[in-house]
Amino acid sequence: MGVKKPKTQHQLHDPATWVERYGDYLYTYALRRIFEASLAEEIVQETFVAALKARTRFEGRASEKTWLTGILKHKLIDQLRRQQRDTVLSSPETDNRPKDTLFDAGGKWRTKPRKWNADPQKLYEQKAFMETVFQCMAGIPKRMSQAFALRELEGATTAEICNVFNISTANCWVILHRARGLMRNCLEKNWFGNKK
Amino acid sequence: MKLWIFNCQQVSRLVSKSMDRKLPLIQKMGIRFHLMMCRLCSNYRRQLIFMRRLLQISRQHEDTSKSDLHLPLNARERIQKELTSLK
């Protein structure tokens, strides 16, 4: 691989090798946040192109991978902003769909949350479980999963998420609440519920 | 001091909100009061925290883990072509 570089000085590889080295990683990164394959491909393409153009400005303080990921995050946000608004983002006060899949009309739990006794570190190491998790994320309404991914994977604040999707903070909280509820139900149904 | 009394539906919403925003003290107390007596909501809250923790761990390992997802071949070729033409 070459001579070990001092910690503060990273270098770029030949851009002709970028797709081979980082294509899958960047694609996965994008797809896990945008949940649409064609858009993920576009984001990866835009990232490499932007990186190529900016490579003389690479300062070597971060690794090449980190640098590319940083560029990808910007392209991801751009794509998220560009998406058309759909009914999922409409004001929760005015939409007529049932307010809650978690509760009945009397405010009681429809399906009682049972104990999972789940160790996140141990379950993370189970490939089948992580596949289930990402399938669940891919299965909920797209804008919800995108907001949820921004919050939980990127650590974006509510304000930042509102900004990206051009929605109110109240709307944002509702979307995250719904996303969490649907994710929870999905994991209960596809993993924890079957354990007994 | 009168504590706010919440039902399960309200608590589930507030527990989620507490993960995104600091709640006023009185709401926090109202939630805690409910959770002390409600096993179901306590389970729910634990499950939300589990999901958060899981995704944090997933994120931490993202740079180094090997993914099963692959950039499709036609996309790889398309991108490689564009990069070559731009150099």
**Spatial separation of the C-alpha atoms in residues A52 and A6, rounded to whole Å:** 24
Q: Domains plus CATH for chain A?
A: 15-82 (1.10.1740.10), 88-194 (1.10.10.10)
Q: Could you give the number of structural domains in chain B?
A: 1
Residue range A29-58: average pLDDT?
Answer: 96
Which parts of B5-73 are beta strand (E)? none
CB contact A191 to B (< 8 Å): no
Does any domain span residue B66?
no
* A115 CA: distance to closest CA in chain B (Å): 6
CB atoms within 10 A of CB B85: 7
CA angle A128, A130, A132 (to 5 degrees): 70
> How many A/B residue pairs have CB atoms within 8 Å?
136
ipTM over 0.90: yes
Does any domain span residue B16?
yes
Structural domain including B24 reads 1-61
% pLDDT > 90, chain B: 83
Q: What is chain B's Cα-based Rg?
A: 23
Does any domain span residue B67?
no
CB contact A35 to B (< 8 Å): no
- Mean pLDDT over the full length of chain A: 89
**CB spacing of B83 vs A183 below 8 angstroms:** no
CB atoms within 10 A of CB A51: 22
User: pLDDT band at A4, cuts 50/70/90?
Assistant: low
**Spatial separation of the C-alpha atoms in residues B83 and A62, rounded to whole Å:** 22
Does any domain span residue B5?
yes
What was the pLDDT predicted at A1?
60
Chain A residues with CB-CB distance to B7 below 8 A: 107-108
Residues A19 and B76: beta-carbon distance below 8 Å: yes
**CB spacing of A184 vs B51 below 8 angstroms:** yes
Which candidate from B9, B41, B87 shows the least CB-CB separation from A100? B9
Residues A18 and A48: beta-carbon distance below 8 Å: yes
Q: What is the pLDDT of residues A124-139, one digit of tens each?
A: 999 999 999 999 999 9
Identify the residue whose tokens are 């926090």.
Answer: B28
